Amino acid sequence: MVMTVAKGGLVLIKKLFSLSSVVGLALIIYNGSALAVSSCSAYNLPSVYLNNANPTYLVMNQFATCNESLPANFRIIESYHILASGQFSIAQFKYATLGYSDIIDIDLRGEYHGFINGLPNSFKSLPNDDINMFRTSAQITDLESVIYNQLLQPQAVVGIYQHNLKLAPDRNKLIICSKIEDALTESQVMAKLKIQYYRITELDHQEANIANLDALVSLYDHKLKDNPHQWVYLHCQGGDGRTTAATAALMMLKQADVGSLLPFKTIMDDTQKISNGYQLIPSCSEMTNMSNSCQGSWQRYARLQLFYQFVQTRNHDELFSSWLLRQ
């Protein structure tokens, strides 16, 4: 075990032993048994589940680290009672939360995602990963339940892209052929593990949605404010943008409640240090870089600035949306 300690009560466990391995193009290891299939084609969702005509693909999440004991970008922020990471496998979640008798899983992903044979996957719309743009949280979770409980049937063989896709793939991209033993949503997994589950359906590379910030504030007020020792587990797909922004928001709320709200810039710097260096302050040019990821980073940063003002001046139990109406 290799361990380092940083400021702010962070304990970052870099690497532990390997749990298992994922071998070959058409082989998945699950609970010690190999599910091998010779060939398949990429799985496609029916159009009713899509946001627009952009191509959508079923992709493995964190393929490069799914054979390790801890998920990608895992960190422990002791002083704020936060665990955070990228998407985990079921085995990784169990290992990461050993010793935590009570924890809330805060799932920050707005895209359809779940687990096939214990390994994480999601549906990605290219080029902007906006498959659920304009859908409510209830609509997303309802459709996601249908996908993983009705469309992805046991014994069916599905083709899953091995790596997270950035551009529309061609026929030569690596596909894992998996025979489904079980397909579960994250909500179902946490119910089986008897873990509290809270879903905030945030889209990647976008400013934080007002309704989603309300959901985070409501969770804080009802579950965390009067229970400062309650642990939460924040995660998105990569463990970077959405997870780091939510970490900063919770830090603001916790600091304000004990009368020690730090300057906004200090919170941004501290969050970067304890989040594996991810920059909430964008390094790209807002004026010249018109890419979705750059513009989304600046929108997220502006929304965090506004959220900081909200935390400074909110009335008791006031939601972010109500505060905006007063401005």
Q: Where are the domains of the chain?
A: 2-326
Q: How far is CA 311 from CA 57, 75, 228, 263, 305, in A?
A: 39, 25, 17, 12, 10
Strand runs labelled E in 37-156: 56-60, 75-77, 82-85, 103-109, 113-116, 119-125
pLDDT of the chain, 327 residues: tens digit per residue: 222 233 333 333 333 323 332 323 233 333 333 344 557 888 888 888 987 767 788 999 998 898 899 999 999 999 999 999 999 999 999 999 999 989 999 999 999 999 999 999 999 988 888 899 889 999 999 999 999 999 999 999 999 998 878 777 666 678 889 999 999 999 999 999 999 999 999 998 888 899 999 999 999 999 999 999 999 999 999 999 999 999 999 999 999 999 999 999 999 999 999 988 788 888 888 889 998 889 988 999 999 999 999 999 999 899 999 999 999
Predicted local confidence at residue 179, as pLDDT = 93
Residue 58's closest CA among 151, 139, 133, 197? 151
Superfamily, domain 2-326: Protein tyrosine phosphatase superfamily (3.90.190.10)
Predicted local confidence at residue 20, as pLDDT = 33
Q: Which residues pair with 179 in a beta bridge?
A: 157
